[in-house]
Amino acid sequence: MTTILIKNAEIVTMNRKSEIITGDILIENDRITAIGPDLDPAQVDKIIDATNRTVIPGFVQTHIHLCQTLFRGKGDDLELMDWLKKRIWPLEASHDEESIYYSALLGIGELIQSGTTTIVDMETVHHTDFAFQAIASSGIRALSGKVMMDKGDEVPYALREKTADSLQQSVDLLEKWHGYDDGRIQYAFSPRFVISCTEELLREVRSLSEQYQVKVHTHASENLGEIEIVQAETGMRNVVYLDHLGLANERLILAHCIWLDEEEKRIIHERGVHVSHCPGSNLKLASGIAETPEMLKMDISVSLGADGAPCNNNLDMFNEMRLAALIQKPIHGPTAMNAQTVFRMATIGGARAVGMEKEIGSIEVGKKADLAILDLVNFHTYPSFDVDPISRIVYSATRADVETTIINGRIVMENRIMRTIDKDIVLPEANRSIQRLLKRSNLR
């Protein structure tokens, strides 16, 4: 058994009472087994002195594309459909096993360094096994799946798949990876969006997700042009169509949901669908601003995600939290989205979306030890006297303030040093890989 004792920390628990306490955290193997002042267990393997440090639950990002991390800076200043057709699909079509692997490690390195401990990840059509290998070795908690696209205009040849192949490959990956490392890795069916998928595929995904009890992760109502296409093809709006196919339920995670009408909001609320809000991506792709204050008022499950590196261009939850709060204020007033609400979306809200609110998302005895230790003793985070710690985290802190990250009881970054990913290998390999993909896709 490995035991870690974190001593003398300011602990932002995000428990039911949202308590912020000063004390110690005992971690035994993968779980938090005690929280309190002056814990003095007989024997510990490691003591972390967290005096003047703030411990928070690890962030849960509910919409990420690790396979796109290599495309950072390659899709700037475009709208969604152009961004997909001109840049992202040709680059995804050019991926090989090695490039998928290093794209994932590059992204996970950034995520761990900025305090994210759980992700919901959408890969590309091929080579997803190599993303899972990177997830497995890095120690991050993830729900991931190969993207499914058996239909669509201007889709490169290498991304076109037959319905049966798409389903079979998804099930093969699920059977190999779902439940890996005591459930640290889970599979999620990942149809890209309605435009990319036949009705047959989506109906089959619905029954497979029920059969295996796994999540379905897709995009919806991100862009007005997208909605027009969906309406022309199906006669329905996105969420109405997904509901019509039986997909709208508590296993569905929908990224974006910017342009919902009243009926769609009602469906999302009644069926318990989870919304992943991606403010950075939504602004950069000029998609729009989701009505998150209204959704939260309706008690819709809303969490946060950075989306992919080429539409953000960071995978940094501090950035997303800040944007999620600020973008609502000019429209709905200064109190429309406060720091506490945003921090909740980034932690326990994300845990709710992935169906793990009893396991992660807060610092409580019995929960998995997924947490980040912040050093908020700095010019940009002071004064600290009489300032709400959550205000300091959401409005002042940056990812550079994350000092140590623990996932599933394992220290994956300590004092800014990555323990599971070798930066000196991953950075040059990322450059080599993107060079290869640009050549193959004729984008350079």
Q: Which amino acid type is present at position 78?
A: L
- Secondary structure percentages of the chain, helix, strand, coil, to 5: 45, 25, 35
Q: x/- string (CB under 5 A) for Zn ion, residues 73-112?
A: ----------------------------------------
Q: Is 63 annotated as a binding residue?
A: yes
CB of 192 to Zn ion, least distance (A): 9
CA dist list (Å): 431 to 46, 101, 104, 112: 37, 13, 13, 20
Match 């006297």 to its residue by tokens: 385
**Applying CB under 5 A, which part among 137-145, 300-308, 390-398, 425-433 lies near Zn ion?**
300-308
Q: Is 200 annotated as a binding residue?
A: no
Residue 265, Cβ neighbours under 10 Å: how many? 18
Cβ proximity to Zn ion, 350 vs 409, nearer residue = 350
- CA end-to-end span of the chain: 52
> Closest residue to Zn ion, Cβ-based?
307
Site for Zn ion in 260-279 (CB under 5 A): none
Asked whether position 123 contacts Zn ion by CB under 5 A, the answer is no
Q: Is 418 helix (H, G, I), strand (E, B) or coil?
A: strand
Q: Please name which of 103, 95, 132 lies closest in space to residue 430, comparing C-alpha atoms.
A: 103
CB of 327 to Zn ion, least distance (A): 18
Cβ proximity to Zn ion, 123 vs 291, nearer residue = 123
Cβ proximity to Zn ion, 166 vs 405, nearer residue = 166
CB of 255 to Zn ion, least distance (A): 5
Q: Is 127 annotated as a binding residue?
A: no
CB of 91 to Zn ion, least distance (A): 14
**Applying CB under 5 A, which part among 74-82, 269-277, 304-312, 369-377 lies near Zn ion?**
304-312
Cβ proximity to Zn ion, 72 vs 410, nearer residue = 72
CB of 83 to Zn ion, least distance (A): 11
Residues 137 and 232 sit within 8 Å (Cβ to Cβ): no
**Applying CB under 5 A, which part among 135-143, 223-231, 299-307, 425-433 lies near Zn ion?**
299-307
Residues 61 and 317 sit within 8 Å (Cβ to Cβ): yes
Q: Which amino acid type is present at position 436?
A: R
Q: Is 291 annotated as a binding residue?
A: no
Cβ proximity to Zn ion, 242 vs 372, nearer residue = 242
# chain residues binding Zn ion, by CB under 5 A: 1
In sequence order, the 6+-apart residues with CB closer than 8 A to the CB of 383 are: none
Pairing of strands 185-191, 141-145: parallel
CB of 170 to Zn ion, least distance (A): 18
Q: Which of 10, 121, 243, 307 binds Zn ion (CB under 5 A)?
A: 307
CA gap 124, 190 in Å, rounded: 9
Q: 385: which DSSP letter?
A: T
CB of 311 to Zn ion, least distance (A): 7
DSSP result, 5-39: EEEEEEEE---TT--EEEEEEEEETTEEEEEETT-
Q: Is 65 annotated as a binding residue?
A: yes
Q: Please name which of 324, 320, 352 lies closest in space to residue 337, comparing C-alpha atoms.
A: 324
CB of 78 to Zn ion, least distance (A): 14
CA 364 to chain centre: 22
Residues making up the annotated binding site are 63, 65, 92, 219, 222, 307
Residues making up the annotated binding site for Zn(2+) are 63, 65, 219, 307
Give the footprint of Zn ion on this chain (CB under 5 A): 307
Residues making up the annotated binding site for substrate are 92, 222, 307
